[in-house]
Structure 1
Amino acid sequence: MAYLPMTARSRDEAHRAATPLELFFDLCFVVAVAQAGRQLVHALAEDHIGAGITGYLFVFFGVWWAWMNFTWFASAYDIDDVPYRLATLVQIAGVLVYSAGIPRAFNDTDWTVAVVGYLVMRVALTFQWLRAAGGEEGGARRCALTYAVGLVVCQAGWVALLWAPEGSERWLFVVLVVAELLVPVVAERHHQTPWHPHHIAERYGLFTIIVLGETVAASTVAVQSALDEHEALDVLLPIAAGGLVLVFAAWWIYFAVPAHDRLSSNREAIPWGYGHFVIFASAAAIGAGIEVAVEHAVGKAHVSTVTANLSVTLPASLFLGFVWLLHSRHFKHGPAQQAVLPVAAVLLLACAWTGTYAVLWAGCVAAAAVAAGVTLVHRERSEGVRREEEVPS
């Protein structure tokens, strides 16, 4: 495959779909998502709630932001030549190094290995943006150069974080997160990169499937381990059944509406894209929560029943709430349709106080939300067809 000049792809390109290289890139992120979830399980099970949630959000930001950086660049500039492929493979190597550093970052606030992994990713991505700048002119060139400079400056900040005074790391981390989030806003202030709405929506959907799949895998391993050690099928079955239904419902709800229809410009796309941090993090945390619920059921988790239940119902509630906030509400008609997901999110939280069958009840609530949504949409369509038939020809 020859070297090609890097020029922007058409925003109106027909049949724009995820490439095998993008799918491979996403698959390697499973390792990072699994590492973050595993550390969260250990922290919650040992009743280190605050430290566990904070550590999880910090390390998951690194996972999500690395994926975001690549995804939006690829949507605009993926030319699939040899340098592009090699740079992407280098980024994948960086992801794996970052994943290896997650336990130290989570438990000991030692970000050395994670920052090295990020540095590897950033060198490759900066090269990509400089290539893009070389093939563009005017506003597009300035935009690409701003991205490249922003990446270098922020990465310098992450490296400097390794020498920050003890006790200041978490506050400096938040400052760097804000700086990272501002780079796309500043870079695309006067020129929008030609990302493809259908392609972006598909990429986000695929990553949602990945984190939900990791939730299923983690839950399965937890139940299997508990059965091998305790053979407590009667206790574990409601958790396994409720958790599975919960994941099924999460998938159904996320893909119920065509998200790409609202992604017409950065004004809609940036809040939508950034808001997915909560969707991805909560979807992955559901699996961690199910593991905690399993450990609590067999007496291995040192937390109360309500806390164990909240480890499942809180992320599930956040998932439903943010799916509604980011795109479902824009496709709902009437107060009944609009109320389904917010009400279900509140009921999911309430399930935490229903005792040992909380996860099963949470699955029932999520399934009821799907059934209510499908019923209301079907009724609306039936009434629309009826009204059309009543109109005289």
Structure 2
Amino acid sequence: MELFKERHSSWLENFYDLIFAIIVLQLSINLNLDVSVNGFLSFVALFIPVCWLWIGVAFYATRFGTDDMTHRFLTLLQIGASAFMAVNIPEGLGKNSGWFALSYAATRAILVIEYIRAGKHVPTARSLTNRYSIGFSLSAVVWFVSAFVPPPFRFILWIIGMIIDICTPLLFTKRFSTQFAPHIQHLPERFGSFTIIVLGIAILGVVNGIATHEWTIYSMISAALGLGIAFSLWWIYFETVDGSEIRALQENKKLGVYVTWLYIHFPLIIGFTALGVGVEHIVLSNQSSVLPTSEIWLMCVSTSICLFALGIIQVTSAMSNLEPTDSKGVQKYREGICSLGTAVIVLMVGAVLTNGVIPIILIAIMAIACLGQVILDIRRHPHHRNPKF
């Protein structure tokens, strides 16, 4: 494994991401139609397997990705199965839940074929690919069977299948961390690409809100603040993308840091998407009337989730440093604590404002919370203030 050789996302991987952009868009539409607690929980329930599908493909590519004809064909099949999943998301927990399960099972089955193929061509990796193939095959079978079982037992099988899927790599990560660690440059770039896609969909909600309704000074200000929130979250996230967590796994066996960094992307992506829906609702709201409680909580909870996840990423980046006294690591740790503290404050604000607040005030508070993290970053990093041409 050429862990330190420069490597970037392939055009095929970028093409594959397009179908997940559609899936995320479908999920955001689902949430847009129902921002109640039940609607949010349904949104999360569908988002988790979607995220895991993408992560599975990304991890295979970072370890064994090739650009031969067979790999391209198998990727095409995965795109087809994922597209079928996108079609069934609107009723993914209702009448289409069986088809959703079948599309998930099909995508995972194709990934199993890829791992078996990789083990055949890379004998030294066979101990890893065999274990992954067995675990992922078992999960795919559980998902397949669930399609023919009535709810609620169908959803119980989904939970079992997800547990198997998530635990399979966890059981073997430390054992194979040195020989088959994810690529330090490629994997963070893949996560960054997916993050950009989700942020783009969040901005799309703001644009749609402005484009489909009459403009007012308040709606324009709300849209601008929403854009500022998205930009702030982009800033905070990409200030920490350096592959340090993977390097810590490879060189110092810091499994906990690596696993935390990996799985915290689940709530991060969910939070980004939900926040985009929340901003769209605020832009479209009657600016002279108080917001419904459900929309207040959607905005506050999603913002808090984003800041919490970003804070954890900042902390894991700090803990990844091989030298605990490293000044950059200490700075990142402090920034992470600030983000975590702000996440708690945002939730407290939501509790205080539950009885009612006008839209522009709420989004202004959320924007201040996010922009505040950017200001702290600028103060602690002089290179942002002193450009070198």
Q: TM-score range by the shorter chain?
A: 0.7 to 0.9
Matched, 1:156 2:141: yes
What residue number does 2:308 align with? 321
Aligned pairs, how many?
A: 361
Q: How far does residue 295 in structure 1 lie from its aligned partner after superposition? A: 4.3
In 2, the alpha carbon distance for the partners of 1:378 and 1:346 equals 28
Q: How far does residue 286 in structure 1 lie from its aligned partner after superposition? A: 0.9
Q: Which amino acid aligns with 1:377?
A: H
In 2, the alpha carbon distance for the partners of 1:187 and 1:334 equals 29
What residue number does 2:44 align with? 57
Matched, 1:10 2:14: no
State the secondary structure of the residue aligned to 2:303: helix
Q: How far does residue 214 in structure 1 lie from its aligned partner after superposition? A: 0.6
C-alpha RMSD of the superposition: 2.7
Identify which range, 332-341 or 51-60, moves more after superposition.
332-341
Cα contact 1:130–1:145 (8 A) shared by 2 = yes
Unaligned runs of 5+ in 2: 319-328
Instruction: Find the partner of 2:358 among 341, 351, 355.
Output: 355
In 2, the alpha carbon distance for the partners of 1:298 and 1:117 equals 42
What residue number does 2:262 align with? 273
What residue number does 1:115 align with? 101
Instruction: Find the partner of 1:66 among 31, 53, 69.
Output: 53
What residue number does 2:30 align with? 39
Cα contact 1:101–1:111 (8 A) shared by 2 = yes
- Structure-to-structure mapping, 1:105-144, within 5 angstroms: 105-106=92-93, 108=94, 110-137=96-123, 140-144=125-129
Unaligned runs of 5+ in 1: 1-8, 383-393
Instruction: Find the partner of 2:232 among 235, 249, 253.
Output: 249
- Structure-to-structure mapping, 1:88-107, within 5 angstroms: 88-106=75-93
Q: Which amino acid aligns with 1:261?
A: S
Which structure has the greater CA radius of gyration?
1
Identify which range, 236-245 or 213-222, moves more after superposition.
236-245
In 1, the alpha carbon distance for the partners of 2:184 and 2:18 equals 22
Cα contact 2:315–2:332 (8 A) shared by 1 = no
In 2, the alpha carbon distance for the partners of 1:233 and 1:187 equals 56
Matched, 1:204 2:204: no
What residue number does 2:160 align with? 175
Among the aligned pairs, what percent are the same residue?
22
Cα distance 1:337–1:66, how it changes in 2: closer, same or farther (>3 A)?
A: closer
In 2, the alpha carbon distance for the partners of 1:202 and 1:321 equals 21
State the secondary structure of the residue aligned to 1:166: coil
Q: How far does residue 98 in structure 1 lie from its aligned partner after superposition? A: 0.7
Give the TM-score normalised by structure 1: 0.84
Q: Which amino acid aligns with 2:369?
A: V
What residue number does 2:18 align with? 27
Instruction: Find the partner of 2:216 among 210, 233, 238.
Output: 233
Cα distance 1:269–1:335, how it changes in 2: closer, same or farther (>3 A)?
A: closer
What residue number does 2:370 align with? 366
In 2, the alpha carbon distance for the partners of 1:114 and 1:170 equals 11
Matched, 1:333 2:331: yes
What residue number does 1:4 align with? none
Q: How far does residue 328 in structure 1 lie from its aligned partner after superposition? A: 4.4
State the secondary structure of the residue aligned to 1:319: helix
Cα distance 1:350–1:244, how it changes in 2: closer, same or farther (>3 A)?
A: farther
What residue number does 2:326 align with? none
Q: How far does residue 309 in structure 1 lie from its aligned partner after superposition? A: 2.5
Give the TM-score normalised by structure 2: 0.85
Cα contact 1:242–1:360 (8 A) shared by 2 = yes
State the secondary structure of the residue aligned to 1:197: coil
In 1, the alpha carbon distance for the partners of 2:204 and 2:358 equals 25
Cα distance 1:343–1:33, how it changes in 2: closer, same or farther (>3 A)?
A: same
State the secondary structure of the residue aligned to 2:122: coil
